[in-house]
Chain A
């Protein structure tokens, strides 16, 4: 058997910032525990504090994730974060299906999570930030990624469903983030993220150039996810003709600013090489409604059979310890499930799934990675 290391499926560990790969092989202790059939805590939980959002992006996957709403209060988050720290969760990314900065629980959660030793991160449109809020939030964050799916003012408004002047405010907020980070010598990584629809290719270079001007640490360009039915109408074949433009955007990188294209997912054209989903116990998702489900693609009521619990109603530790949790996770790993047929395209767990599936098929040996650990290791 020709054994290959995980690096061959997208991760490049010579780069400390891995944006197009997985860091799961830096958690082999947990992978081995999973192999033995132990109940492992998620390494990373991707969640939102609300389902609400003040934007209306044309490609918004959250439109497909509707489920019964409950309010995640600060008290709910405190209890949740305490549980996470206790069972061994490492990182919480406030991304998922809502704009978490709109929640009153946002800042208190960052602080509490940080104090508990959890790595905290956020993906945001960054509109409601101001200098004071950034000063408060940035010291508690491992990364802050700004969703910014255009490079010009008018197209920003069009693609992201907001007023053109919001572009100016967010640009200023990014400048402020960079300045606060520099002034206070903070560890936080600041990023910009473009979710690219093939028809918005005119914005690739303006976006990369804007990033170069605003000076975040990186600007990443990624594919758009779609559901099983293709409700958002993403034309995955359309990405291939953008190759040269994307390469040109990457060439704008310099020593302190990196343009990264998530090639591995773009080139996958929405397909999966695996059928079992092994990644969810390592990388769990929670809706802004408090719903705990293995994956964001299963948030909609349609997938009720996969809905494990709600952190508003029940402690997370109790949910994680429940047979229901493991029954659902086992379903995804069983012959009953086929991710190629029963899931949307290119989910959050995709790279972790690739790694674990290759391991189970004997294509990857669990080898302790060499060299310095990558950044943001708690976000697999």
Chain B
């Protein structure tokens, strides 16, 4: 009978298991090649881990199982408990050696009723674990910190530069076939003329009893939304304006997610104007689409450069920024996507930080639509990929 018993080394099994957790992805094998251990999972609790092996062998239909357990594991075991649990599965034999112990279980042939009773007993314990009251969300005290942010200073430079622009103050005359829409908020009137075939804003103007600050903001918004699809202009125009005006080297206006509405009260009337002209246009034309697939196009200047010149400029820019040291251009995937690689070993956080800095630098220096990526990590354990398989 002993010859029929499968013998395994628990220490080797565990070492294999833990190594595989980080080296195997799909098709992970849990039990060093033993078919009956396909259902076994290592457990930090050695008692449970060993009991799991015994259960897996029993469920697979083996007549028994012998497990070699090393001294180090033995010291962590509650052996009387393990022996008691194993004894519910079969007859137990224990053999000690200088290296540890062999625990052998010869399974009972018909024990299912007894085991089910035992399971029910166990579960009574778990049922006593009542649901605890949930931790309530308590927002951190952000007000005090936000109060320290000088929101005026955050936008001061942007507004100063913007105040030099002009050209949109006034009113719009009807101009067939363009469709007129307008809205009023906080004394300001925003007017647009929209191409009704493509729903693109062709002309923008503003007027009303407005302050210098409002005038500057309206001028900025007008510049951003002119020649943009109406939906894009009305949904995202103010987001672009806030982002453009903000000093990104300073602390953000809020600690969480920045939106025009929470960044500064001055953007509030612009949000209302934007939503209002879209509503007015919908009312007068019946336009009801909510689809917005606008994607910021590459600038004409960048588009005009050939591939080699684009890559040369990116390489030159990378060496000009401190975060670009040890970073190389691998390739461009499109006119917008820049794939870089790191020439030196860096930690994950350092890489992330550098990529953020470099992307900002490339956007400001070369082309606002550039995005930075690194080489993808390929799944070395891949068994199947449909696209690749179908191409074979």
Contacts and interface: CB of A to CB of B under 8 A. Distances in A.
Interface of A: 1, 29-30, 33-41, 50-60, 62-64, 66-71, 73-74, 85-86, 88, 90, 98-99, 101-108, 111, 114-119, 127-132, 135-136, 139-140, 161, 166, 169, 180, 183-184, 186-187, 197, 230-233, 273, 275-276, 278, 281, 300-310, 324, 326-331, 333-336, 338, 340-342, 360-363, 378
A50 B42 CA distance: 13
Contacts of A169: 39
Given A63-B382, A114-B129, A275-B292, 5 more contacts: A52-B24, A88-B135, A115-B129, A130-B55, A140-B129
10 shortest A-B CB distances, which residue pairs? A37-B254, A301-B377, A305-B355, A37-B262, A233-B387, A302-B376, A139-B126, A88-B137, A52-B28, A56-B26
Contact of B261 (A35, A71, A180, A324): A35
B135 A106 contact: no
A89 to B, nearest CB: 8
A101 B257 contact: no
Interface in B68-119: 115-116, 119
B40 A128 contact: yes
B256 A38 contact: yes
Contacts of B21: 50-52, 71, 102-103
B295 A340 contact: yes
Contacts of B24: 52
Contacts of B329: none
Interface string B345-356: 000110111011
B59 interface: yes
Nearest to B27: A56
B197 interface: no
A184 B135 CA distance: 26
30 contacts: A1-B275, A37-B253, A39-B255, A39-B256, A51-B21, A55-B27, A56-B383, A57-B26, A66-B380, A88-B135, A102-B30, A117-B133, A117-B134, A117-B135, A131-B116, A139-B129, A180-B123, A183-B120, A184-B126, A230-B387, A232-B387, A233-B385, A300-B377, A301-B376, A303-B373, A304-B355, A307-B351, A326-B256, A340-B295, A342-B371
A88 B346 CA distance: 33
Most buried by B among A35, A140, A334: A334
B139 to A, nearest CB: 5
Contact of B374 (A304, A329, A334): A304
B122 interface: yes
Contact of B135 (A1, A33, A116, A130): A116
Interface stretch (B155-163, B166-174, B233-241): B233-241
Contacts of A132: 55, 119, 122
B301 interface: no
B146 A324 contact: no
B39 A130 contact: yes
Given A68-B348, A233-B386, A54 B140 contact: no
A135 B385 contact: no
B142 interface: yes
Nearest to B146: A37
Contact of A302 (B23, B263, B375, B383): B375
A119 B135 CA distance: 11
Of residues A52, A278, A342, which shows the largest number of chain B Cβ atoms within 10 Å of its Cβ? A52
Interface string B256-282: 111101110000000100010001000
B136 interface: yes
B372 interface: yes
A335 B383 contact: no
A99 B257 contact: no
Contacts of B56: 130
Given A88-B138, A117-B133, A310 B25 contact: no
Interface of B: 18, 20-30, 38-44, 48-49, 55-56, 59, 115-116, 119-120, 122-123, 126-127, 129, 131-140, 142, 146, 235-236, 239-240, 243, 252-259, 261-263, 271, 275, 279, 290-296, 348-349, 351-353, 355-356, 359, 363, 371-380, 382-387, 390
A105 B49 CA distance: 12
Contact of B376 (A68, A73, A273, A300): A300
A10 to B, nearest CB: 15
B245 to A, nearest CB: 12
Given A103-B21, A334-B243, A38 B137 contact: no
Contacts of B386: 58-59, 197, 232-233
Contacts of B48: 107
Contacts of A102: 21, 28, 30, 41
Nearest to B356: A305
B275 A39 contact: no
B254 A301 contact: no
A335 B135 contact: no
A131 B39 contact: no
A184 B243 contact: no
Contacts of B43: 104, 107
A231 B384 CA distance: 11
Nearest to B351: A304
Contacts of B352: 304-308, 324, 328
A244 B227 CA distance: 44
A302 B275 CA distance: 37
A227 to B, nearest CB: 9
Contacts of B41: 101-104, 106, 128
Contacts of A330: 252, 257-258
